[in-house]
Structure 1
Amino acid sequence: MKKSLLSMALLAALSGCSLIPDYQRPDAPVADSWPQGEAYGPSAASAQAAELGWREFFHDPALQRLIEVALENNRDLRVAALNVEAYRALYQIQRADLFPAVSANGDGSRSRTPADLNPMGQSGISSQYSATFGVSWELDLFGRLRSLRDQALEEFFASEAAQRSAQISLVASVANAWLTLQADLALLQVTNDTLKAYDESLGLTQRSFDVGVASALELSQARSAADSARVNVEQYTRLVAQDRNALALLLGQAVPADLPGSGEGLARQQLAELPIGLPSDLLFKRPDILQAEHQLRAVNASIGAARAAFFPRISLTGAAGTASSELSGLFDGGSGYWSFAPSISVPIFNAGQLRANLDYARISENIQVAQYEKAIQTAFREVADGLAAQETYTRQVQAQRSLLESSEDYYRLAERRYRAGVDNYLTLLDAQRQLYSVQQQLIADRLAQLTSEVNLFKAMGGGWQEAVSTEQGGATPPAEG
């Protein structure tokens, strides 16, 4: 009879019900296509941006080397990886509660009893020794432990998605920091060249002033332009140093001195073309959205645990072994010992605590739904902004290049006319300032174009893989052992 009851209890524990609500993925609160229309529709042969390895997207060998260093040494990425291991351990802890806890115990005691406490009227020494195996097990009849296990598993998956998101952000941040450094170096070079031209012009104006050809106003204007350029040289020198410091922080070490040369500078060719998919692709490729969904699933599982807390908890505790008053007789015949102590706990009154726990779980689910939808909307906006930038920056840079050519022609013509005495120095100074300003703006536009491409790559979930991989799918569950 006892064996039958125990078998029934084991069967109930293994086939216990689950009170976790059926998970329903919320509808994506975004449009089915990008605002830019069908021009960005996916081709049948193109891969998704998330499947494009960062080595394939970034062609600059120096930048590839910097990303390698950052992935090895960046502290934020190291913390994200450790968080994954921490959540893996928490999952293993929660999963262990589903199985019986078995322990081996050895006990021994000796005590002396005074004569006035002994019924025989004599003092005595008593001894007791035991060696037992103990088992304790909570029967998960209503799925409380399984719900907590599933919650821990989803939190582990969310931490893996957070690690992927951290890596994508790091790759994009290193690329943008490198491009910013290249832009400021280019601006410093342009400013130095401009200062050289200003100094030459100042020297010519000074000599003209000395012989009475140039006026004091023209000399003052030439000196003012040269001083202004010197101020800009110091400004860009400071920015270059700060850019290197920012890059070193991302790398987790000093910027390597032996970076391979690329000669790319701010050339658009150093970035690959991005394949553009549909908005729905982001739901399965972008890690921050996957993280938000796993967190939503975790809260959904916590509702099952909160529901199961309303039902009785049944635990089985037992021990078997030997016991003897003499250590030498501990394993003699007839020293067998066993105990079996099942228990049941039924909640009756707890001042509304269980109800409040369930309400909290349901409210948390509503919060996670809102955060999941916000993550989708944010991702949709970032990609849409990137597509708009991709479409317009190309034309803007082309127009700026055309303006640069016109400004160069204007400067050469103004210089010849000034030297010939046709125009005054103010016209030449205006041409110099316009050329300098257009050169600066072209570098700024090229930087904005490249960083927008990098941000679009990040927004579409690219940068997680080092190269294209044929293995797809979600996070790998923790080992069951």
Structure 2
Amino acid sequence: MIARRIIAGGLAVPLAVSLAACSLAPQTALPPPPVPQSWPVGDAYLAQSEADLPQVPYTQVFRDQRLQQVVALALDNNRDIRIAAANLAAARAQVRAVRSAQFPAIGATAAATGTAQGTDGDWSELYSLQGGVASYEVDLFGKLSNATAAQRDRALATEAAVRTVRLGIAANVAAAWATYAADRDLLALAEATAKNASDSVRLTRARFEGGVAPRSDLSQAEQILATAQDNIAAQKTALAQDENLLRLLVGADVDPALLPGGLSEIDGSFATLPAGLSSQALLRRPDVIAAEYDLRAANADIGVARAKLFPSISLTGLVGLASTALADLFTGGAFRATAGADAGLSIFDAGGRRADVAVSEAQRDAALASYERAIQTAFREVADALAVQGTLAERLRANRANATAAATTATLAEARYTNGVASFLDSLVAQRSLYTAQRAEVSMELASILNRVTLYQVLGSDAFE
């Protein structure tokens, strides 16, 4: 290091604080989003009018008052949100810590020393009191300001990550709540099937004992009953697991009065978000916002690395009092003032500093690619959800028609068996088909609700204001 120290008794340190800094960081230029301007269209997509994406809070999408209360509880108590909030607080504090390097560090010291000289023990005393700027680096090339900017952008990326967590919690609570409703329906379906199977076993046993039906008919009826009883136990387990998941997401026990009794209670309470929106709406997604701030932070890091190629200049300025007698410490003759400046520049570092610049530029390129990938991923997720939405109505209609036809078939097959026209096997197959069709109908109704929850999450337009 080559350093030159300049000491001038009358130098005013506050003048140095006013020196303006230039920045060597490149300007952040966001590329055009690497996705089409609109969502895909075709048979799998519903064509709707183009519109700007509005701010859509969860209360507008999840319109059931009970669900809104559960989501609000989760946003207040969920531990993942608390962890994210703590990380955000740490990121904001780190910004203040980095920014403090841009300002002078002012301190004060007081000392009293005594010295004995010679064999006769002559005693001398020295008292001093001084304060001022011990060291202040003049940010002529923007090293400190860019470091602050980089840390600020990372804190903003962390803030966006908090909103990502909140979006995920709201969506997961809604999905778990709707799944609980579907499992209630499946439990009721299994119980109804078990009741019908029990009646069938009783009648078939009577026919068997009367010599009208073979033993195989009774065994097959007992199989249906056993299957339904197994499904009842499985659905009770599923309901308990649904409650456990909701308890975890909410961070507390959930009032049973806030839970739905079945899908029929919540049908229509989940709003459908419009399709056909401009893909520019994805720029509002918190993960895309976080990627943008990471890109800005990487640009600022380049400015820090470039500034290290230039000399660093530090200033010092101290004023104080010094006297050999404590009583004279505050007299005019005890006043002392010192000011200085240091300039340092590394002449040879084997290309280390230029390598740091190359590293920061490569990291900027990676951040740029990550930003573009975040937009592309968001586009794919929304497009997939819209593709599902575009065909759900037809699939739900088909499942309902299938369940209706299966119920008719089961009724007719049972009548034919009772009248001796058809075998019990025909009735057995019809009952199994009906049960399967009814479960499929419940699953499709749940899928329709979960698709709306997914669209809410992947569009990411809830600002939680």
TM category, shorter: over 0.9
2:250 matched to which residue of 1? 251
One-letter amino acid of the counterpart of residue 27, structure 1: P
1:90 to 75, 91, 94: 94
CA distance in 1, matches of 2:345, 2:122: 45
CA distance in 2, matches of 1:265, 1:102: 69
Describe the superposition over 1:360-388 as per-residue Cα deviations: whole angstroms up to 9, x where unpaired: 11111121112111111110011001110
| 1:70 and 2:74 are equivalent in the alignment | yes
Classify the secondary structure of the residue corresponding to 1:334. helix
The Cα shift of 1:9 comes to 6.7
Classify the secondary structure of the residue corresponding to 1:310. coil
| 1:334 and 2:340 are equivalent in the alignment | no
The Cα shift of 1:41 comes to 5.2
Classify the secondary structure of the residue corresponding to 1:36. coil
After alignment, is 71-80 or 28-37 more displaced? 28-37
Report the CA distance shift for 1:260/1:439 in structure 2 as closer, same or farther (over 3 A): closer
2:28 to 13, 23, 28: 23
CA distance in 2, matches of 1:56, 1:225: 44
The Cα shift of 1:26 comes to 2.2
One-letter amino acid of the counterpart of residue 16, structure 2: L
Q: Which runs of 5+ in 2 are unaligned?
A: 1-6
CA distance in 2, matches of 1:224, 1:97: 78
State how 1:393-432 maps to structure 2 within 5 Å. 393-432=392-431
State how 1:289-328 maps to structure 2 within 5 Å. 289-328=288-327
TM-score between both structures, scaled by the size of structure 1: 0.89
Classify the secondary structure of the residue corresponding to 2:288. helix
The Cα shift of 1:321 comes to 1.7
CA distance in 1, matches of 2:19, 2:58: 46
One-letter amino acid of the counterpart of residue 41, structure 2: Q
CA distance in 2, matches of 1:111, 1:3: 27
1:34 matched to which residue of 2? 39
Aligned CA-pair RMSD:
2.3
1:180 matched to which residue of 2? 179
Describe the superposition over 1:429-453 as per-residue Cα deviations: whole angstroms up to 9, x where unpaired: 1111111000111111111111111
CA distance in 2, matches of 1:371, 1:430: 54
State how 1:347-426 maps to structure 2 within 5 Å. 347-426=346-425
The Cα shift of 1:258 comes to 3.9
The Cα shift of 1:156 comes to 1.3
Does structure 2 conserve the Cα–Cα contact (< 8 Å) formed by 1:41 and 1:278? no
CA distance in 1, matches of 2:340, 2:247: 63
CA distance in 1, matches of 2:263, 2:218: 40
CA distance in 2, matches of 1:148, 1:281: 31
The Cα shift of 1:266 comes to 6.7
Classify the secondary structure of the residue corresponding to 2:110. strand
Classify the secondary structure of the residue corresponding to 1:271. coil
1:242 matched to which residue of 2? 241
Report the CA distance shift for 1:262/1:414 in structure 2 as closer, same or farther (over 3 A): closer
1:132 matched to which residue of 2? 130
2:121 matched to which residue of 1? 123
State how 1:257-268 maps to structure 2 within 5 Å. 257-259=256-258, 265=264, 267-268=266-267
CA distance in 2, matches of 1:131, 1:102: 14
1:280 matched to which residue of 2? 280
Report the CA distance shift for 1:260/1:210 in structure 2 as closer, same or farther (over 3 A): closer
CA distance in 2, matches of 1:385, 1:268: 23
Classify the secondary structure of the residue corresponding to 2:322. strand
CA distance in 2, matches of 1:352, 1:113: 53
CA distance in 1, matches of 2:239, 2:162: 30
The Cα shift of 1:67 comes to 0.3
One-letter amino acid of the counterpart of residue 167, structure 1: R
CA distance in 2, matches of 1:40, 1:286: 23
Report the CA distance shift for 1:75/1:31 in structure 2 as closer, same or farther (over 3 A): same
Does structure 2 conserve the Cα–Cα contact (< 8 Å) formed by 1:54 and 1:462? no
Classify the secondary structure of the residue corresponding to 2:95. helix
One-letter amino acid of the counterpart of residue 90, structure 2: A
The Cα shift of 1:458 comes to 0.8
Classify the secondary structure of the residue corresponding to 2:172. helix
CA distance in 1, matches of 2:111, 2:296: 49
The Cα shift of 1:181 comes to 1.5
Does structure 1 conserve the Cα–Cα contact (< 8 Å) formed by 2:64 and 2:266? no
CA distance in 1, matches of 2:28, 2:21: 19
One-letter amino acid of the counterpart of residue 278, structure 1: S
One-letter amino acid of the counterpart of residue 297, structure 1: R
The Cα shift of 1:268 comes to 4.0
Does structure 1 conserve the Cα–Cα contact (< 8 Å) formed by 2:11 and 2:339? no
The Cα shift of 1:39 comes to 5.2
Classify the secondary structure of the residue corresponding to 2:129. strand
Does structure 1 conserve the Cα–Cα contact (< 8 Å) formed by 2:389 and 2:451? yes
The Cα shift of 1:421 comes to 1.6
CA distance in 2, matches of 1:199, 1:392: 38
Describe the superposition over 1:204-260 as per-residue Cα deviations: whole angstroms up to 9, x where unpaired: 101111111110110110111111111111111111111111111111112223427
1:479 matched to which residue of 2? none
Describe the superposition over 1:103-132 as per-residue Cα deviations: whole angstroms up to 9, x where unpaired: 2x23223334353xxxxx422333222222
The Cα shift of 1:337 comes to 1.3
CA distance in 1, matches of 2:166, 2:122: 72
2:3 matched to which residue of 1? none
Describe the superposition over 1:445-466 as per-residue Cα deviations: whole angstroms up to 9, x where unpaired: 1111111111111111133326
After alignment, is 180-189 or 165-174 more displaced? 180-189
1:106 matched to which residue of 2? 109
Report the CA distance shift for 1:65/1:7 in structure 2 as closer, same or farther (over 3 A): closer
CA distance in 2, matches of 1:372, 1:214: 71
Describe the superposition over 1:123-142 as per-residue Cα deviations: whole angstroms up to 9, x where unpaired: 23332222222113211011
CA distance in 2, matches of 1:96, 1:40: 54
One-letter amino acid of the counterpart of residue 391, structure 1: G
Report the CA distance shift for 1:328/1:40 in structure 2 as closer, same or farther (over 3 A): farther
Does structure 2 conserve the Cα–Cα contact (< 8 Å) formed by 1:61 and 1:260? no
The Cα shift of 1:329 comes to 2.5
TM-score between both structures, scaled by the size of structure 2: 0.92
Name the % identity.
37
The Cα shift of 1:332 comes to 2.0
CA distance in 1, matches of 2:120, 2:47: 99
The Cα shift of 1:16 comes to 2.4
Does structure 2 conserve the Cα–Cα contact (< 8 Å) formed by 1:181 and 1:240? yes
Report the CA distance shift for 1:289/1:8 in structure 2 as closer, same or farther (over 3 A): same
